[in-house]
Amino acid sequence: MPNDYLIGTGIYDVTGPAAELGMMGMASIDQKTEGIHSRLFARAFIVHDQSSGKRVVIISADIWSCTLAIKVEVVKRLRSIYGNDLYTIENVLLSGTHTHSGPGGYSHYALYNLSILGFDKQNFECIVNGMVQAIKKAHENLAPGKIFINRGDVEDCGNNRSPIAYDQNPASEKAKYGANTDKEMLLIKFVKIDGTEIGCINWYAIHPTNRGNKNKLITGDNKGYASYLFEKEKGTNIQNKETFIAAFANSNCGDISGNVKYGIPDLVHDFERMKEYGEKQFSKAKELYSSASNHLTGSVDYRHTHIDFSKIQIEGTNNRTDPAALGASMFAGSTEDSKSEFGIIEGIKATITGDYPAGQKNIILEAINLLSGLLTGFKVPGILEDEMKNGHKPKPIILAQGLAEPFPLSPEILPLQILRIGNLVLLGTPFELTTMAGRRLRETTLNILKSSGVDSVALATYANAYAGYVTTKEEYDIQHYEGASTHFGPYTLMALQQEFGKLAIAMKDGKSVPAGPEPKDLSKEQTNLQTGVLTDTQPWPWIPFGTPQTDVDSFYKAGSTVKVIFWGAHPKNNLRTQGTFLEVQMKVGDKWITIFNDNDSCTIYEWKRDFIANSKITVTWNIPADTKQGEYRICHFGDYRDVSGNIKPYTGISGTFKIGESAAVNEISFKNSSGKQVELWFYHPNDWLRWSAYSHHILKKDENYVWKLPSGWGKAQVRFTGPGKWKTVSGGESIIINLNGEIKNLDS
């Protein structure tokens, strides 16, 4: 029989600043946020074993990775709410999906804040608060329930981006597996005793990099899109106390990408390719969810420790890890996902002396000079001891960030964590593991724990901290991007297997493990070179915030695109957490009903600076093909900062428009029955002072006249000279001027 578990789930918004904050993952200084294509969420799962009293927390968040700073602060706040013993550093696992299209600046280590231009307190607070709130919801929703497990292969969903490195692994080892990627998705399903389905989480290995390093819109990429599809189908409402959640967590995706199939993202096809890989993950997850029938059974348990990865001795050998360093090919980037900004190639190995190869030396030195210029206040050794060079061979060290002073530029004391839920074990690792590295780590752990009833091991990567890649020794020696980005040298995987093995043995034997060395507290060592929001201004004093600069047309067909530009303000003033910067509304009776917001894949919210402190907000709605005929409008919500620093909300509303079959609603028809000549003067609908007419027409006696609205207007201000009246007229209307000069709609 299944164990007597209490289960609970929760979801909360972690969408950071949507303008002028560097994105994490591609390390491109030019890639700063300029809007939202989908919101980012933290999804929390709590499992409590009523027999032992132990519980575990799992979070998968739509962020690049958890960091040490995030983990420490989340646990600190949980302890302030629930006391010191309920939610701790040992039983809380915080992981990121590894989207490369989310705002950064939330690490306390300078290497990860370089391209962001420092630590960003606002984004850090957004992520921490979102994770805490998601856990609080899950805690409040705890109730008896069952957990089901299922697994299956996802076909044609990512390729190995470094097959040359993978092929260096032993032939006998490769022969055990059917492919050079792990195709298996492992899913667990949460159902309360009363039958309420409250969520699922799965682990599948693929890089969420379909949107590329030219994209500037916040999005969860393929994994975020998969969550969106699942939750949309289940009617998820993040405002509810309890709602269904679907987390698509990552696994050993270090050498797996969806871009191998198509090439480097080009900003043209990226969204469709993201959808393709998101839909494949969603379809498999839905299938596994629907057919899941095997229960997780057994106790809940956990082990956690901190390890100094800069000096792990591999037991029984003379091999060890070394202080963190990056190789030359790290600056090539993943060449399948982006193009190197330095002109460096993959596969650069050190010479016999450990120096840079001659053909790439000048380019590498230029990259070092650029880094040195950015690392203000740090001293990084340029001349390395032979011991350090030999420890990382054949990596030609381009940056020895582990030797930086006054403290390392990336973490060396790292958390390792095992969570057990019955026959399933999760390995919380702060690394990016390649396919074969992940297989070896899973096998090591399973061999130890299978005799105690464990038959499934999932790799929860990007968890609790981040410290680069881990490859096999054979892959490392080829020095592709992944090997050059393995911080602690060629024996990192062996060290990881060794230390996780110790945790697994302790769990098997029911013994505790040492806490390990305390990570450095760098919270007071942070700098920020980013620009803040001083004030927001209007283009003219008489134009309120939220005024459409370019309004909608009067008519659209389903499948076409609506676009409206508002005079707005900077989104850093209010992140609109758990809210939205836009709504698409449909008129039902005499009420306007919201049908889409800024989390929906058919909408886009974009910000652009105009002049010095003006902002233009573009809202795009790609009308779904199945949209009903009717009347619609676009709303924009924002907040502006005045010269005194006060932040005030505003709302912008577009003109109304119709969705239907006929394009005639782009026109206004006039019939003159007044018995005399009438002059028509046409003005922009938002020309507040009516300075000048856009066009003019003399409407003769008994004349019928059709005027076509300019694109983006939707309606017009019309002055009728003769009757001497003004009227706002929308596209599709038919106007008649009667004998007494009365101006009426023909259909009224």
The whole-angstrom separation of Cα 57 and Cα 65 is: 17
What would the pLDDT profile of 292-337 be if each residue is shown by its tens digit? Answer: 999 999 999 999 999 999 999 999 999 999 999 999 888 776 777 7
The whole-angstrom separation of Cα 364 and Cα 370 is: 10
Q: Tell me the average pLDDT across 357-369.
A: 55
Evaluate if residue 373 carries a pLDDT over 60.
Answer: no
Q: Tell me the average pLDDT across 119-128.
A: 97
215-224, 238-247, 330-339, 676-685: segment of lowest average pLDDT: 330-339
pLDDT at 651: 98
| DSSP-derived secondary structure letter, 463 | B
> Given pLDDT bands bounded at 50, 70 and 90, which one contains residue 745?
confident
85-89, 380-384, 652-656: segment of lowest average pLDDT: 380-384
Check 257, 340, 601, 654 and give the catalytic one. 257
Four-point Cα dihedral 257, 67, 404, 328, nearest 10: 0
Evaluate if residue 3 carries a pLDDT over 90.
Answer: no
What would the pLDDT profile of 249-261 be if each residue is shown by its tens digit? Answer: 999 999 999 999 9
3-state secondary structure of 482: helix
pLDDT at 664: 61
> Given pLDDT bands bounded at 50, 70 and 90, which one contains residue 362?
low
Evaluate if residue 484 carries a pLDDT over 70.
Answer: yes
Evaluate if residue 22 carries a pLDDT over 70.
Answer: yes
Evaluate if residue 686 carries a pLDDT over 80.
Answer: no
257 annotated active-site: yes
Which residue type, as a one-letter code, is found at position 403? Answer: L
The count of other CB atoms within 10 Å of the CB of residue 745 is: 12
pLDDT at 347: 73
Question: Whose structure tokens read 């809007």?
Answer: 35
DSSP readout, 278-290?
A: HHHHHHHHHHHHH
pLDDT at 607: 98
What would the pLDDT profile of 130-159 be if each residue is shown by its tens digit? Answer: 999 999 999 999 999 999 999 999 999 999
Please state, rounded to an integer, the average pLDDT across all residues of the chain.
92
Evaluate if residue 487 carries a pLDDT over 90.
Answer: yes
| 653 or 366, higher pLDDT | 653
41-45, 282-286, 459-463, 722-726: segment of lowest average pLDDT: 722-726
- The 3-state secondary structure of 644-687 reads CCCEEEEEEECCCEEECCCHHHHEEEEEECCCCCEEEEEECCCC
pLDDT at 631: 95
**Assessment of whether the complete model's pTM goes beyond 0.75:** yes
The count of other CB atoms within 10 Å of the CB of residue 607 is: 25
Q: Tell me the average pLDDT across 695-721.
A: 89
Evaluate if residue 380 carries a pLDDT over 50.
Answer: yes
Evaluate if residue 353 carries a pLDDT over 80.
Answer: no
> Given pLDDT bands bounded at 50, 70 and 90, which one contains residue 1?
very low
Q: Which domains does the chain have, with CATH numbers?
A: 5-303 (no CATH), 548-659 (2.60.40.2300), 664-745 (2.60.40)
The whole-angstrom separation of Cα 727 and Cα 683 is: 10
